[in-house]
């Protein structure tokens, strides 16, 4: 079995799951897997560490959000082009940390970002699509939040039965009430985490801007001297 580069990259396999006995047993896919291999491995690991009863839907929604956030981070950094490998790595890395953040601990992402090479690489069409959407619609994350809010409103308006029926159904099924409450709490945690991550991204952008300004001043001083 191929081994990860460093102890840090192996660390995720040594962390026990709160939902399963033993340690993660899936075969390590190596340091440079294909995108499909990496995401299959990630899916198995995340489901082992923190399963969700609607894994497909939850993964789809969170991945869409993280792809938007990755695109916005690049756009705010004045990036207009990136390779497919690097963009998809960035999305996966953000998705990994967000999913596992609900456990209250940080698990290192096992793969390193692909490095730029002199050889021609595929330009990310996904990022190009988000770049164009940003030009039309503005902040991609804010658009996502608006769509989610609208979706929840539609679901509430089209709920089957009358309000009395719904109350009766809920009161007759305590397990469902508890499950709904847990899902609601999870949604609130997602929103809070999104806000915190957005705040951190803004702080990083401000730091980057200050560094660029300092570098420019130093360059001007060197030119004058």
Quote the domain boundaries for residue 210.
176-225
The mean per-residue pLDDT over the stretch 9-33 comes to 91
Pair 128, 204 in one domain: no
- Length of the chain measured in residues: 225
More confident residue, 138 or 190: 138
Q: Please say whether the beta carbons of 144 and 60 come within 8 A.
A: no
Pair 26, 110 in one domain: yes
- 157 pLDDT band (50/70/90 cuts)? very low
Pair 106, 143 in one domain: yes
Residue 150 lies in a domain: yes
| Residue 46: closest CA among 31, 30, 26, 65 | 26
Q: DSSP for the chain, please give it.
A: ----SSHHHHHHHHSPPSSSSS---SPP--SS--HHHHHHHHHHHHHHHS--TTHHHHHHHHHHHHHHHHHHHHHHTT----BHHHHHHHHHHHHHHHHHGGGTS----SSPPPPP-SS---B-HHHHHHHHHHHHHS-HHHHHHHHHHHHHHHHHHT-SS-HHHHHHHHHT-HHHHHHHHHHHHHHHHHHHHHHHHHHHHHHHHHHHHHHHHHHHHHHHHHHH-
Q: Which two tokens stand for residue 174?
A: 């305590």
Domain count, the chain: 2
Distances (CA, A) of 54 to 58, 141, 193, 205: 6, 23, 20, 35
| Residue 73: closest CA among 190, 211, 215, 197 | 197
Pair 145, 211 in one domain: no
Q: What is the DSSP letter of 28?
A: P
- The half-sphere exposure of 26 on its side-chain side, counting CA atoms within 13 A, is 16
Q: Is pTM beyond 0.75 here?
A: no
| pLDDT value for 94 | 96
- Alpha carbons 29 and 10: distance in angstroms, whole number: 12
More confident residue, 149 or 33: 33
The helix/strand/coil state of 50 is coil
| pLDDT value for 186 | 59
Pair 143, 180 in one domain: no
Q: Please say whether the beta carbons of 49 and 22 come within 8 A.
A: no
The yes-or-no verdict on residue 155 having pLDDT over 70 is: no
Residue 221 lies in a domain: yes
The yes-or-no verdict on residue 69 having pLDDT over 90 is: yes
Pair 62, 111 in one domain: yes
Pair 66, 115 in one domain: yes
Across the strands, what pairs with 83? 123
pLDDT tens-place string over residues 86-141: 999 999 999 999 999 999 888 999 999 988 766 657 899 999 999 999 999 899 98
More confident residue, 153 or 43: 43
């Amino acid at each position: 079995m191929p081994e990860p580069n460093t102890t840090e990259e192996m660390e995720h396999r040594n962390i026990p799951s709160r939902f399963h006995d033993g340690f993660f047993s899936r075969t390590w896919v190596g340091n440079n897997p294909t995108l499909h291999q990496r995401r299959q491995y990630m899916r198995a690991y995340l489901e082992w560490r923190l399963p969700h009863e609607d894994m497909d839907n939850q993964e789809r929604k969170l991945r869409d959000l993280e792809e938007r956030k990755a695109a916005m981070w690049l756009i705010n950094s004045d990036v207009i082009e990136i390779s497919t490998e690097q963009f998809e790595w960035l999305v996966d890395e953000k998705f990994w940390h967000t999913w596992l953040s609900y456990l209250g601990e940080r698990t290192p992402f096992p793969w390193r970002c692909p490095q730029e090479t002199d050889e021609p690489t595929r330009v990310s069409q996904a990022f190009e699509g988000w770049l164009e959407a940003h030009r039309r619609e503005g902040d991609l994350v804010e658009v996502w939040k608006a769509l989610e809010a609208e979706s929840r409103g539609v679901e509430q308006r089209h709920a089957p039965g009358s309000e009395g029926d719904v109350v009766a159904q809920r009161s007759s099924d305590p397990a469902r009430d508890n499950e709904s409450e847990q899902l609601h709490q999870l949604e609130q945690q997602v929103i809070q985490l999104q806000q915190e991550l957005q705040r951190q991204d803004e702080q990083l952008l401000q730091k980057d801007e200050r560094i660029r300004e300092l570098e420019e001043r130093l360059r001007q001083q060197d030119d004058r001297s």
